[in-house]
Amino acid sequence: MAVALTFTSGDPQAASRVLVASAQALAGRGEALWPPESLTPERLARHYPPAGWRVAWHAGTAVGCSVLLERDPLFWPDDPPGEALYLHRLAVHPAAQGQGLAGLLLADAAAQARAAGRSWLRLDTASDRSKLRALYLGAGFVPVDEVQVGADHVVRFELRLK
């Protein structure tokens, strides 16, 4: 089923609603990823620039989101500036899951990175998230390595854009 989406930038409030709904649904399935209280617009603003948020809309409803960063010194500390954009907080609203929206969000992020003149789109995910790892592999991302970042063991992925 093809879903017609529009994308907007710079809307952390709408992104927060999608993230909270997604986090609550995951927790309800015993797959907790993010504490919902860490996903308020105020908390998100502490870690992510408002302009970096991308929100996917269908029929006037926010159905997905992600945030793109210019730098990611925590997970990619050795990367030279200007080489990549870094994707975080990819989420699809539970009411819209199962329609391939995560792939569309990844494609939008890649298009944004290309438009910014970047050679790479990079991301990380917890090493025990097999569904997310499969999603990224299916979208053409290549695993780079596994690293320990604080308490988190993550797999770093990248997608060549040029």
The predicted-structure confidence for 57-97, as pLDDT tens digits, reads as follows 999 999 999 999 999 999 999 999 999 999 999 999 999 99
* Complete DSSP assignment for 73-141: TTT-TTPPTTSEEEEEEEEE-GGGTTSSHHHHHHHHHHHHHHHTT-SEEEEEEETT-HHHHHHHHHTT-
Rg value, the chain, Cα: 15
Q: Fill in the amino acid letter for 42.
A: E
Q: Give pTM, 2 decimals.
A: 0.95
**67 and 113 Cβ atoms separated by less than 8 Å:** no
What CATH class has 6-120?
Answer: alpha beta
Q: Cα(19)–Cα(48) distance, rounded to whole angstroms? A: 14
Domain boundaries, the chain: 6-120
In which band, very low, low, confident or very high, does the pLDDT at 162 lie, cut at 50, 70 and 90?
confident
The predicted-structure confidence for 13-30, as pLDDT tens digits, reads as follows 999 999 999 999 999 999
The predicted-structure confidence for 49-68, as pLDDT tens digits, reads as follows 999 999 999 999 999 999 99
**118 and 83 Cβ atoms separated by less than 8 Å:** yes
In which band, very low, low, confident or very high, does the pLDDT at 1 lie, cut at 50, 70 and 90?
very low
Nearest by Cα to 26 from 41, 8, 13, 39: 39
